Amino acid sequence: MAEAERIIGTPDTPDAAGDGQERPEDAASGERADSEGTRAPGSGEPEPTAARPRGKRRIAVLFAVALFAYALDLSTKMIVVAKLEHHPPIEIIGDWLKFEAIRNAGAAFGFGEAFTVIFTMIAAAVIVVIARLARKLYSLPWALALGLLLGGALGNLTDRIFRAPGVFEGAVVDFIAPKHFAVFNLADSAIVCGGILIVLLSFKGLDPDGTVHKD
């Protein structure tokens, strides 16, 4: 009898009862696998969806700054053309700072007047690059810097397209004339400020996606 039980096996043993039934340790291991497969929020790895609203806010800041800089530049140029062009300069701080309407066919601060079309293409390329970079933007300082660049580029590009002597060859309206310095406009100022801020952020090791690296 004992020999028969040894050959056939008893169904009450743990090994035999395991067929078709779930063991407690198997259920526990399954729960652990499920918990590892779907991490709860804040469990070490941020959810991809949690980063999206933050990125959208940074993009909104970028375009808000760009829109403000562009609107301010456009409105001041319209006032200068209507009230100051073909009129004597207006002294703001004696000879040190004047408002004087000047049409500039070159780049910022009057450089390179023979390359108007090239500068127009560069400005358009800058706008495209900033728009593409905005998709990976998670840094507020970078949003401010790129917004200033975008607004300034749009301001001067508008002059290049719509002002005389023709499309893509238009002369930019400059009117801020410090003593012993080139005449410029608010778009030029926004571009310079945005560029300086980008240089500072690069020195600090802050990337547009919000990561910080140290060389």
Q: Name the residues annotated as catalytic.
A: 174, 188
Beta-carbon count within 10 A of 105 CB: 19
What pLDDT, on the 0 to 100 scale, is given for residue 82?
95
What pLDDT, on the 0 to 100 scale, is given for residue 196?
96
What pLDDT, on the 0 to 100 scale, is given for residue 107?
61
Q: Give pTM, 2 decimals.
A: 0.72
Can you give the pLDDT of all 215 residues of the chain as single tens digits? 444 444 444 444 444 444 444 444 444 444 444 444 444 444 444 444 445 567 789 999 999 999 999 999 999 999 999 999 999 999 999 889 999 999 988 665 555 555 677 778 888 899 999 988 888 899 999 999 999 999 999 999 999 999 988 888 889 999 999 999 889 999 999 999 999 999 999 999 999 988 987 76
Strands 90-93 and 172-178: unpaired
What pLDDT, on the 0 to 100 scale, is given for residue 46?
46
What φ, ψ does residue 55 adopt, rounded to 5°? -65, -40
Crossing angle for the helix pair 116-133 and 140-162, to the nearest 10 degrees? 150
Crossing angle for the helix pair 186-204 and 48-79, to the nearest 10 degrees? 150
What pLDDT, on the 0 to 100 scale, is given for residue 33?
41
